[in-house]
A and B are shown apart, each in its own frame.
Chain A
């Protein structure tokens, strides 16, 4: 398959939030192309529009104007169910607050996206175990989120995002709730896995010192990519 070089194309995208009848323009006309199979980093201060941008790319929000193409699909034309299925298949999320399901064990949290995709159970098991192994949590697979440390939780979240082998993984400030050392470990883990799996990561942070060896760096400020 002749894949294009870019996994995401943004064409003059704007996003305006409504907050108590006040319009806040979070993105002010962004045009960008994000390369495939890279560890892309978006750096910007708090409030610069990183989350807004990643939400649009992740198809959990829609732009006010402009168009977005993700994995070759124009997201504007999809129904809500198509959008859900698209996310289930192509996009992995890693959140700042981990967002694990508290009633699921580590194993079940990682298994969840495969259940959504109705993966057969034998394959499911194999992939969940392999992915947990990759993030170094094979021994903790039966623990529940409240029995895990922050770093361990984020590893489960990384496994959950990667288990379905998505084209695109979005990590919106995944280290913001971790101490510096753990954060660095998590970034290193993500970079390692990105290289192994040959998938595309988009990682955002407000701390430019966190990333020393980013291949593709986007700077965002006040809703504009610099």
Chain B
């Protein structure tokens, strides 16, 4: 007969109490696992979202991150073709690299003069084929939203672009883009001819790019984009909108235009040398990010380039992780304390009920340590049963929730994302939680067991 077999029989003596203890441990384990699994899924969803839209690592001209946003063209990168070649040829980076894409980020004013609407926007010039690939990154096999988005842009479509859904609504492009569920703008009375500007800035387009003249009109949705060129002069191009898509954050959904890099360069570089804001690197695995960053810093002259990971570009990622980790730590602590007290209570009661048995066992020759082992064995068994039950319940619940595809909208988000629970993304999470609660239950039975073993044998025997 092993300690565990004896422990099992003793546990069965007071089935109700043991069951309550096991359930308390199971519920603690369940909540830690579900909460942790949800947090880890939020963190990996966020990461997946960032990596799908902006890659892992950005390379900028030195000084861009500090001064660049106010003067993007001055900190633009002209030799991006050469740098791309350098990166793709590097034997260390190459195996980890999924893609490198030049991009041009800028701001300007967009106007839809058919509807008399205009607003400021964020512009993002991308290479459509690479951008499509960027958006399919899926290291963690995450389903972020119910419907997956694609820009549908083609490399040869030099003036093509897509727009955020919210911006399309505001710019009164619902009809032109054939959008469903579009908040149709109430018709505003046209201003009188006297107060209306005699000419809109789309006239500039005709001067600069006369071949685009007819394209923007008619059935196709298009916007005229105004921005400052590298030289500081205003410049205008027309973007042909192929689609409106739901962008993740509200700011992007209401103001982002993604377009062919060629068009963005026409707008920003004008007739000057074509520049980009930087290069976006997407790796196969996020785990290699720091390594690749170090390597990039070795092969690129540090006086000319800066290398930033997505966490550095968007500090909110790290902040979100530490916030959730803190909350999780707190919850795990509380659950651990609950298990601790529940087990101490249960084991103290078992000890009290069995004092004369303890005396008998000691008289028969059991050492103190053997008495402790016996009770610790019971705590271990309760902990194992409870913790394992918790894992099973958590698997069932998380599987069900993932299957139900419940969605929620994170703060500042435009689109709801899937509420999912992933307990296997961090390989040690589940085993550590499982073993952690078992250890707590086991350890908490040590105190009552120690007290029991220290009783005077004659007193224990008289205890009937």
Contacts and interface: CB of A to CB of B under 8 A. Distances in A.
Interface of A: 55, 58, 60-61, 80-81, 84-89, 91, 93, 95, 97, 99, 101-104, 108, 111-113, 115-117, 160
Interface in B408-464: 456-458, 461, 464
Given A87-B363, A88-B365, A103-B13, A108 B356 contact: no
Q: Which of B6, B360, B361, B368 has the most CB of A within 10 A?
A: B360
A84 B366 contact: yes
Contacts of A101: 357, 360-361
Given A60-B458, A115-B1, A87 B13 contact: no
Nearest to B366: A116
B457 A61 contact: yes
Interface of B: 1, 6, 9-10, 12-13, 356-357, 359-370, 456-458, 461, 464
B363 A61 contact: no
A89 B362 CA distance: 13
Contact of A81 (B9, B367, B457): B367
Contacts of A115: 1
A84 B365 contact: yes
B366 to A, nearest CB: 6
Contact of B461 (A60, A89, A108): A60
Contacts of B363: 58, 60, 87, 93
Contacts of A113: 364-365
Q: Please report whether the interface of chain B is mostly helix, strand, loop or mixed according to DSSP.
A: helix
Contacts of B458: 55, 60-61
Contacts of B365: 84-89, 91, 113, 116-117
Contacts of B361: 101
Given A61-B458, A99-B356, A112 B9 contact: no
B367 A85 contact: yes
A161 B368 CA distance: 20
Contacts of B369: 81
B360 A84 contact: no
A85 B369 CA distance: 12
Contact of A80 (B10, B356, B368): B368
A55 B359 CA distance: 12
A116 B456 CA distance: 20
Nearest to B6: A103
Contact of A87 (B1, B6, B364): B364
A95 B360 contact: yes
B331 to A, nearest CB: 37
B364 A103 contact: no
B10 A103 contact: yes
A95 B366 contact: no
10 contacts: A58-B363, A60-B362, A60-B457, A89-B365, A93-B363, A97-B356, A97-B464, A103-B13, A113-B364, A160-B364
Contacts of A80: 367-368
